[in-house]
Amino acid sequence: MARVAVVGAAGFAGALCAAIVERHPGLELTATTARSDAGLRLDQVYPRHRVSLELETFDADRVAERADAALVAYPHGAAAPVVQALLDRGLKVVDLSADFRLDRARYERYYQTHEAPDLIEEAEYGLPEIGHRDSVREADLVAGPGCYPTATLLALWPLRELARDAVVDAKSGVSGAGREATGTTHFVSVAENVAAYKVDGHRHRAELEHEFAEAGFPITFTPHLLPIDQGLLASCYVTPKRELSADDVRELFAEAYADEPFVELAEGPPGVRDVRETNLCRLHATVEHATGRVLVFAAIDNLWKGAASQAVQDLNLMLGLAEEQGLGATATRRAAPAPSVVSTAQVPS
């Protein structure tokens, strides 16, 4: 069994990483670290995860003595020096921050001065379903994608050569802001409310620009905050270069994702509850007859497929394990004819 440390295990994604690794049949959770919560057991901070390891102050040498690989769940900027220290000690690393998702120019335009720029070229983007699987297998450093780009890229990837432009209306639960930010968000500003934010340029659009650089079609990306704890829905509206029928689109998506264990094609638009606490992306694609636009709806759990479980999916590949291992029975559910729990009878006209 590969020994794994979770660095930054006191955040939402890091704590979930620790829980998934501890229950993983091919991995052994050997260390968890935190900054402000060091000295507590993880199950004191997150009782529901039932992980009893003590949260330690990060020390690269101590982690390297007990681990072969690490999942790093620090914020951007803080992650890069930690990743550098672990790689220098021979560990394989999946970084959940934005520090290694982009080229240096884009990173410094959207974020800040990079703390470990020499590592950027070594990092592989950790979304196996869009052509990165083989490079992830060979990598020592993998950058876990952001939650919004995960859903959006999976929704648009089969259309990349056919799209003239795309509009992405994406909505996420408040856990996407992270533990510290969520704690400062006043309940009354979120409850019974939906609002767009960062409409002049959300940082995650940089990943869309990076991954679709060769496709070259413009994307309008607008995120919204939902009054739910977790879950993400990306509704994508694509103007195609040529006329497509609904059957054309269904065949295109079926072919693109035929062998993908964590992409589920649905007969109707998905809801976020359909994929809660799974590593699945549930997709529905069709054509709006009135305009000829292709409509694609992608639902993920932002803490799972959008962060922690996707990081473990990447780690499985890096360690030579089965990609689906430790990620539950969801791995066998590729095709799903059942509609979302929201029926037309529940939706106001």
Distance (Å, rounded) from C-alpha 173 to C-alpha 271?
Answer: 13
3-state secondary structure of 122: helix
Q: Which residues pair with 72 in a beta bridge?
A: 7, 95
263-266 and 195-196: which strand pairing? unpaired
Q: Which amino acid is at 304?
A: W
115 token code pair: 């703390």
- The H or E element that residue 166 is part of is strand 163-172
Q: Which residues pair with 240 in a beta bridge?
A: 163
Rounded to 10 deg, the angle between the 308-318 and 12-22 helix axes is 50
- Tell the residue number behind the tokens 């003590």, with chain if given: 54
DSSP-derived secondary structure for 83-112: HHHHHHTT-EEEE-SSTTSS-HHHHHHHS-
* Interacting residues of 348 by C-beta distance below 8 A, sequence separation 6+: none
17 included as an active-site residue = no
Distance (Å, rounded) from C-alpha 87 to C-alpha 89?
Answer: 5
- Radius of gyration, alpha carbons of the chain: 20
Of 133, 96, 139, residue with least CA distance to 304: 96
Distance (Å, rounded) from C-alpha 250 to C-alpha 134?
Answer: 26
Q: Catalytic residue, from 17, 147, 236, 281: name it.
A: 147
- The H or E element that residue 318 is part of is helix 308-318
Distance (Å, rounded) from C-alpha 50 to C-alpha 121?
Answer: 37
Residue 41 DSSP symbol: B
- List residues with catalytic annotation: 147
